[in-house]
Amino acid sequence: MANRIKVAIISPEKTIFEGDADMVVAPAWDGEVGILRGHAPMLVLLGAGEMRIKLGGAEERFHVEGGFMQVADDVVTVLSESASTAG
């Protein structure tokens, strides 16, 4: 619990994912970024690619294209017009 962060992936139409994670890897506009607990506040544009949310041994994948990610107080918020669960 102690090392977890909260993650939400939100599209205009609905909230796609909301939950805890150990680590988030997101496709920023200039390359992938990984977010762990204690990350400095950040606001970054996203490119197109795969978002990975790691919790325990499991990993959930999402596809995002455009939008942005906000990191503040160990809460990661991804807003993207085209985000979906990757099959």
Partner 1 sequence: MAKTLELKRRIRSIGKTRQITRTMEMVSTSKLKRAADRVHAARPYAERLTEVIGRLIDPELRERYPLLRQPDSVKRAAVVLITSNRGLAGAFNVNLIREARRQIERLRGAGVDVEIHVVGKKAVSFFRYQKEELAAGRTDITDKPTLEDAMSVIEPLREDFEAGRLDEVYVVHAQFRSALSTPPVTVKVLPVSAGAESDDASGRTQSYILSPSADEILNRLLPLYVRNAVYRALVETAAAEHGARRTAMKNATDNAGDILDNLNRTYNRARQAQITQEIAEIVGGAAALE
Site residues for partner 1 per CB under 8 A: 8, 10-15, 28-30, 40-45, 66-68, 70, 72, 77, 79, 81
The set of residues, in sequence order, having a beta carbon less than 8 Å from that of 46 and lying 6+ positions away, is 26, 27, 28, 29, 64, 65, 66, 67, 68, 69, 78, 80
CB of 46 to partner 1, least distance (A): 10
Residue closer to partner 1, measured from CB, 68 or 74: 68
Report the residue number, 72 or 86, with the smaller CB distance to partner 1.
72
Cβ-in-10-Å burial (0-12, 13-18, 19+) of 46 comes to buried
Considering the complex, what minimum distance in angstroms separates the CB of residue 39 from partner 1? 9
